[in-house]
Every structure is written in C-alpha cells, then in structure tokens.
C-alpha cells in the first residue's frame, strides 16, 4: 500500500449552468457517504460560488488561473480572486490550455506558484500527443514537461500531478494498462529526481477516458492515485461509480 489517499477530480470544462447545481449536490451527497477517497469538481468560474453553497461538503475548484495577482489582463481570473470566492484548488496546464492558448511550461509553473501563494491547491497536468506517443516519445515528453513546469516548493499537501494522454481525452481510447503503469512509474521517478523523498507522497492522477467501466482496473495500477475525469464527471450517474471504485481501490 502506498499510503496515498485516492483523489478523484471532475473537470467540467465549458459545461454547466445554474441548472447543474442539483447534479453537483447529488455528487456531493454520494461522495460524502464514502470513506478513503477525496473528491473535487473543477467548475466554470461562474458556478464556483454557487456550487460551494449548494455542496459545502465537496471540494470545489477552478480550471485555470492567471499567473499575475492583478493587472491589465482582460477576461482573466487571478488565483486570489478564486480564493476569495471560496475555491480550494485549481487545475493548471491542461492540454487544452497548452494547445488552444499556447501556454508554455514557464507559464504553467508561474500559474502553479501564483495559486499556491493564494492558498489554493494545484493539479498540474502533463501529457503527450498521439504523434509523440506513436513515435515512442511519450515518457521523454511527459517527464521533460514535468521538469519544466514544476513549481518551487512542491509538496504533497498542495500539489497533485495529472497525467493525461492527449489522444485519449474524450475519445474513449485508453492506453494499455502496461503503458499507464510505465508512465506513472516514470513520473514518480522524475518527481524523486526533482524534489526527493517528498515525491513519494505526491498523488498522480490518470486522465483520459476514465469511466465507471475501467476505473477499478486503472486505479489498481501502482502509482495511479486517482483520476482527472472529464465528460463522465458531468452527472452523478456516471461520476459516482468512478468515486466508488476509488474508495475500494
């Protein structure tokens, strides 16, 4: 046993209006009934405060933050703003941000550090493209990404790593279990090189088409400490079975 408590986080991306609050409350009620698993939802900024009121037992977070505390950054939200409305954590470096907003490893490192300074926990994402995967470059790409994105003062009480094979996100494709084990093991090794013994306490999540049917198998792999779940986190019907699998893992 690793001693690391399982952690399942839902990333709602650009989904969710006020009518979704009842679904969030339902997820929270089911999660509260389970032991040995931490559960969070990273929601659109417009839902965060309302979700905290509707589901106070659930960890509610954001999907991104700006690296500056304030300034001329139209349309952006700082970590301090998120903390002020009650968010507990934020994702940084999701592949969709890296690709669509051209965020660099340096940007992501700065965002993680800004979030920590504001008192937020951080889920730092890494992952390879299908081209990199097919070329046998997945491990090299991901470990280089982690090294360049790693925030100063990294520690298990506020930092989580999420591995997301980009080609598996929302596609239904899942890497072979041996591939997942190899990657998570390589991430753990890289973390040890970067931060020493503290690496053994940091949780590494798998993100990429995790669902109720494959969660138990994925969560049984060494160094898979939970999941970063996209589409399947949008409803209690699909998300709760993943949480239940984590509680039993």
Q: What rounded mean pLDDT belongs to the chain?
A: 96
Q: Is 43 helix (H, G, I), strand (E, B) or coil?
A: coil
> Which is nearest to 208 in space by CA: 178, 154, 171?
171
As a whole number of angstroms, the distance between CA 63 and CA 43 comes to: 6
**Which tokens in the block code for residue 144?**
């280089």
pLDDT in tens, 69-117: 999 999 999 999 999 999 999 999 999 999 999 999 999 999 999 999 9
**Which tokens in the block code for residue 89?**
């954590």
As a whole number of angstroms, the distance between CA 207 and CA 165 comes to: 7
Catalytic residue list contains 94: yes
> What is residue 34's predicted lDDT score, i.e. its pLDDT?
95
Catalytic residue list contains 15: no
As a whole number of angstroms, the distance between CA 70 and CA 72 comes to: 7
- Whether 194 and 154 have beta carbons less than 8 Å apart is answered as yes
Q: 77 to each of 10, 81, 90, 132, 185, how far by Cα in Å?
A: 20, 6, 11, 32, 34
- Whether 76 and 46 have beta carbons less than 8 Å apart is answered as no
> What is residue 161's predicted lDDT score, i.e. its pLDDT?
98
* Catalytic annotation, pick one of 23, 128, 132, 164: 164
pLDDT, mean of each 10-residue run, the chain (249 residues): 89 98 98 95 98 97 97 97 98 95 97 98 96 94 97 97 90 87 98 97 95 96 97 97 97
Q: Is the dihedral of CA 221, 223, 226, 232 positive or negative?
A: negative
- Whether 40 and 89 have beta carbons less than 8 Å apart is answered as yes
> Which is nearest to 226 in space by CA: 30, 40, 10, 8?
8
As a whole number of angstroms, the distance between CA 45 and CA 61 comes to: 9
* Catalytic annotation, pick one of 94, 103, 133, 184: 94
**Which tokens in the block code for residue 193?**
């090189």
As a whole number of angstroms, the distance between CA 54 and CA 246 comes to: 24
Q: Is 102 helix (H, G, I), strand (E, B) or coil?
A: coil
> What is residue 167's predicted lDDT score, i.e. its pLDDT?
86
């Amino acid at each position: 046993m690793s001693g690391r408590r399982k952690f399942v986080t839902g990333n709602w991306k650009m989904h969710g209006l006020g009518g979704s609050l009842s679904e969030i409350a339902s997820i929270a009620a089911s999660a509260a009934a389970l032991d040995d698993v931490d559960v969070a939802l990273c929601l659109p900024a417009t839902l965060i405060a309302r979700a905290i009121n509707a589901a106070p037992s659930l960890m509610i977070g954001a999907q991104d933050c700006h690296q500056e505390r304030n300034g001329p950054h139209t349309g952006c939200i700082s970590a301090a703003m998120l903390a002020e409305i009650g968010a507990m954590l934020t994702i940084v470096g999701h592949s969709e941000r890296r690709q669509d907003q051209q965020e660099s490893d340096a940007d992501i490192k700065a965002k993680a550090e800004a979030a920590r300074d504001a008192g937020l926990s951080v889920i730092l994402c890494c992952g390879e493209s299908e081209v990199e995967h097919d070329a046998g470059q997945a491990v090299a790409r991901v470990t280089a990404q982690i090294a360049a994105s790693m925030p100063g003062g990294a520690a298990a009480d506020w930092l989580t790593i999420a591995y997301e094979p980009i080609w598996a996100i929302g596609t239904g494709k899942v890497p072979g279990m041996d591939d997942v084990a190899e990657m998570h093991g390589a991430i753990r090794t890289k973390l040890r090189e970067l931060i020493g013994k503290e690496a053994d306490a940091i949780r590494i999540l798998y993100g990429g088409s995790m669902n109720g049917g494959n969660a138990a198998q994925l969560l049984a792999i060494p160094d898979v400490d939970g999941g970063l779940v996209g589409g399947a986190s949008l409803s209690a019907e699909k998300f709760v079975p993943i949480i239940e699998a984590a509680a039993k893992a």
